[in-house]
Amino acid sequence: MALDASPFPLGPHTLPATTHSYLLRSAESLSEAVATPDVATRYACAHVAALRAAAALLSARARPVSGRRRQQKNAWVLLAEVAPELGEWATFFAAGASKRAAAEAGSSRAVTEREANDLVRDADRFLAVIEQSLGLTPHATVATMVVPRAAG
């Protein structure tokens, strides 16, 4: 999919309703990650929270360019194209997709408690970065206060 990536195609105060919906759903997934005692679910919910935050930015900035054959690309590839300044985040979360899939499939060995807790904190930070990128006030981070750091 070819995209035109202007920073605020509609202006920061006129973001599409889908952008706000993705941000809300991202925060809900993050809250679910914080609340669950299950490590695999925590990891999967945190990863989904990051994916929804990326979708929020894409819904605000990305616009299909007509006249070109569309190539299938995942959200992380699109994010790096639309917001190159978030390329490292995109690479980081793309690398965790297979672990998320394994966790969602019920593998108890897919991720450690530390990995899950770290991903919750990272997804929380990423959501704040996305909100700032959209010209919004970042949410009050809860993950850093609720999810304990694993020792070692």
Residue 22 makes CB contacts below 8 A (sequence gap 6+) with 52, 53, 55, 56, 59
Q: Which two tokens stand for residue 1?
A: 């999919």
Asked if residue 125 lies in contact with residue 140, where contact means CB atoms within 8 angstroms, the answer is: no
Residue 70 confidence class, pLDDT cut points 50, 70, 90: low
Enter the pTM of the model. 0.82
Q: Which amino acid is at 5?
A: A
Buried b / exposed e over 99-109, threshold 16 CB at 10 Å, is bbebbbeeeee
DSSP state of 62: E
The CATH classification number of 3-145 equals 1.20.120
Contact 56, 15 (CB under 8 A): no
Model confidence at 1: pLDDT above 90: no
- Please give the share of the chain, as a percent, with pLDDT higher than 90: 68
Of residues 9 and 100, more confidently modeled = 100
CA–CA distance, 123 with 139 (Å, rounded to integer): 12
Per-residue pLDDT of 35-65, as tens digits, reads: 999 999 999 999 999 999 999 999 999 776 6
Q: What is the pLDDT of residues 114-142, one digit of tens each?
A: 999 999 999 999 999 999 999 998 887 76
Q: C-alpha 25: how far from its chain's center? A: 10
pLDDT at 50: 98
